[in-house]
Amino acid sequence: MTWTPFAPLRETLRALQRGEVSSEDVTRAYLERIDALEPQIHAFLSLYPEQAIAQARQADARRARARRHPDEPVPPLLGLPIAVKDVLAVEGMTLTCGSRILEGFVPPYTATSVRRLLDAGVVIVGKTNTDEFAMGSSTENSAYGPTHNPWDLTRVPGGSSGGSAAAVAARMVPAALGTDTGGSVRQPASFTGVSGLKPTYGRISRYGLVAYGSSLDVVGVLAPQVADLWPLFIHMAGFDPKDATSRDAPLPPEPNWEAEPDLRGLRIGLPKEYFVPGMQAEVADAVRAAVQHLANLGADVREISLPHTEYAVPVYYIIAPSEASANLARYDGIRYGPREPASRMWDVYYRTRGRRFGPEVKRRIMLGTYALSAGYYDAYYAQAQKVRTLIKQDFERAFETVDVIAAPVAPTTAFRLGEKVNDPLAMYLEDIFTLPANLAGVPGLAFPVGFDHQGLPIGMQLMGPALAEDLLFRVAHAYQQTTDWHTRIPPVAQGQPA
């Protein structure tokens, strides 16, 4: 075969394993695409081309040794280049979280999820752009400038993993890591026409992930097609004693990617609360058409109710900011990043946090501090936790009658840069369909199911019971075996005007 950067990840791995292409050639090809496209897209906050080439050469040398010595083990992802969202620590690489308050900070350790991938042989080309501290739905809150959607450079790529999603959509890397606290993998996957996995809470270690909402954060992955998410997911997953919330559960079995797309016996729930007045009609139509396609493959589709869905946005925007206000208290100009000078200690705190946190981060810290303050804790935070339990119970009851739940990812396709950045409520409502899965701790898998009249991608998500990621992969892969939405590439990625 003739390898190109447009090849799916699993094909690239096979080409590397067979010696049809070297890791150095693959890595150089992606770095060349980054050089060509990055000025338009701004998917990255930092790049490490020399380090990546050195890692690739080491991978090639290791494969050469293994060919001479067949008993020598070869890591399963050896020589595969990827990108990492800049909220995950990688030793020796800057970690900014898209914020001026961590400008220039280099961590002395590596996140467990990234360490496991490095042990499996990946090459890291750089760190991707993100809303500041992963707080946002458009990647416009980055202190280092917004990322542009490869399908239309005047539009957002979603957030907060917009840099990773845009890099994957433009085929600047075959896959990238993201994080999902309230939809931050699935929503940008939907906006950029790629596939994105939010695993079960606790399935992948959070050690080394800069905390935003500790009871909600998960590490996820984005790639052009569903089957290509699996190799990274399965090597990151598993118990980690460094993470007190890590689940000690068996890893799921790998789906049979070559099996016929037969969904007979599968029960799919379609929640009526996820089709609401005001959502873009093309999104609703595309999702319903995709569900019908799954029915044509043998699935039994039935309408269900998740009655507390309407409370997900207010519940999330009490719980997540409350956790953020505690987690971000450590950024004071003393222990991490740059410090604003002042003669008194308290003035150092005030100036550093006041000048170096962006407006959205300040807004959420204040919201959370208020919700946790004396006299308001019981009225807001405690009540939100009770309603969160009701949302979780909605999913538990639903999964007694259906195997997976299908729903839109977002109420609209990608909106224009600047359109909602000054309207926090409108921005928060973009997460209305993704927040419930985080509050319930269940896995979600997003993938493209069409385009609107402006040529912008439309995504659908599947949600399943806790630890049932393999079931979501099976269903979504069956869809992609019999459709071609996931094969479409943005014009800018093909050298055409966007």
DSSP state of 109: S
Report how far residue 406's alpha carbon sits from residue 420's, in angstroms, rounded to the nearest whole number.
Answer: 27
Catalytic residue among 22, 99, 138, 184: 184
N residues, the chain:
498
Q: Are the C-beta atoms of residues 74 and 114 closer than 8 Å to each other? A: no
Q: Are the C-beta atoms of residues 198 and 445 closer than 8 Å to each other? A: yes
CA angle (497 as vertex; 495, 498 as ends), nearest 5:
110
Instruction: Take residue 203 and report the two structure tokens written for it.
Output: 């399935």
Picking from 433, 156, 179, 221, the residue whose alpha carbon sits closest to that of residue 312 is: 433
Identity of residue 359: P
Q: Is 475 exposed, middle or buried (0-12, 13-18, 19+ CB in 10 A)?
A: buried
Q: 266: number of CA atoms within 13 Å, CB side?
A: 23
Give the chain's count of helices (H) and strands (E): 15, 11
Picking from 138, 39, 176, 188, the residue whose alpha carbon sits closest to that of residue 492 is: 39
- Catalytic residue check, 184: yes
Q: Are the C-beta atoms of residues 497 and 491 closer than 8 Å to each other? A: yes
Q: At what angle do helices 9-18 and 23-41 cross, to 10 degrees?
A: 150
Report how far residue 356's alpha carbon sits from residue 367's, in angstroms, rounded to the nearest whole number.
Answer: 18
Assign 181 to helix, strand or coil. Answer: coil
Picking from 188, 2, 203, the residue whose alpha carbon sits closest to that of residue 85 is: 188
Catalytic residue among 22, 99, 137, 160: 160
Q: What's the distance, Cα to Cα, between the start and end of the chain in Å? A: 30
Q: Are the C-beta atoms of residues 436 and 306 closer than 8 Å to each other? A: yes
User: Residue 373's CB: how many other CB atoms inside 10 A?
Assistant: 12
Report how far residue 66's alpha carbon sits from residue 438's, in angstroms, rounded to the nearest whole number.
Answer: 43
Identity of residue 236: M
User: Residue 122's CB: how many other CB atoms inside 10 A?
Assistant: 26
Q: Report residue 198: phi and psi, to 5°.
A: -105, 110
Picking from 194, 183, 182, the residue whose alpha carbon sits closest to that of residue 43 is: 194
Instruction: Take residue 53 and report the two structure tokens written for it.
Output: 């080439």
DSSP state of 378: I
Report how far residue 205's alpha carbon sits from residue 245's, in angstroms, rounded to the nearest whole number.
Answer: 8
Instruction: Take residue 154 and report the two structure tokens written for it.
Output: 């005047």
- Which residue in the block uniquely carries the two structure tokens 């930092």? 46
Q: Which residues does the annotation mark as catalytic? A: 85, 160, 184
